[in-house]
Amino acid sequence: MSAITNMLDGFVNKTMVEPEIVQKWGLGTIDEWRPGYVKKVWCVAKSHLLGTSLFGGCIAALADQMLAFPAITLQQDGEFCATSNLTLSYLKPVREGQLIIEAEVVSRRGKSFYVEAKFSQNNELVAKAAATQITVVGPR
């Protein structure tokens, strides 16, 4: 098994320590993965709400995080990815409760990945995002 596989499996099994920023912001990691795809169920708490809907900055942070993971599943040990472009469309207000986020690599060109994510709540699409992830080699 590679270090990347061990990390991803550790996140799914909750045996891998989350990076400090992920802990501080309460982003969580992933619940499921396969090459080029990730999924997580994130609990939208009352503390995340601005009025009755999720603060948009939370969705942006979740998008940036979740759009990286599918590229990571296809990388080699010693590589990491960086977001070079991110677009986000807010379609409906996100309320307290479960938010399902699925992200998938749509295409790959050399060391760049184009990734899309869908955010759904109560079986409705509430946001979508896309990003270009570039592969960087060396220490993070």
Ordered mean pLDDT values, 10 residues apiece, the chain (140 residues): 90 94 94 98 93 94 97 92 96 97 97 97 98 86
Q: Are 63 and 123 spatial neighbours (Cβ–Cβ below 8 Å)?
A: no
75 SS3 class: coil
20-40 pLDDT, tens digit per residue, is 999 999 999 999 999 999 999
User: Is this structure's pTM higher than 0.85?
Assistant: yes
Residue 58's CATH number: 3.10.129.10
The predicted pLDDT at position 139 comes to 67
Radius of gyration of the CA atoms of the chain, in A: 15
CA angle 106, 110, 113 (to 5 degrees): 30
Instruction: Identify any residues that bridge with 118 across adjacent strands, giving them in sequence order.
Output: 102, 128
The predicted pLDDT at position 58 comes to 93
The predicted pLDDT at position 8 comes to 95
The predicted pLDDT at position 49 comes to 92
Q: Using CB atoms within 10 Å of the CB of residue 97, give its burial: 0 to 12 exposed, 13 to 18 middle, 19+ buried.
A: exposed
The predicted pLDDT at position 140 comes to 59
As for how many domains the chain has, the answer is 1
The predicted pLDDT at position 85 comes to 96
Residue 31 belongs to what domain range?
3-137
CA distance 99 to 108: 27
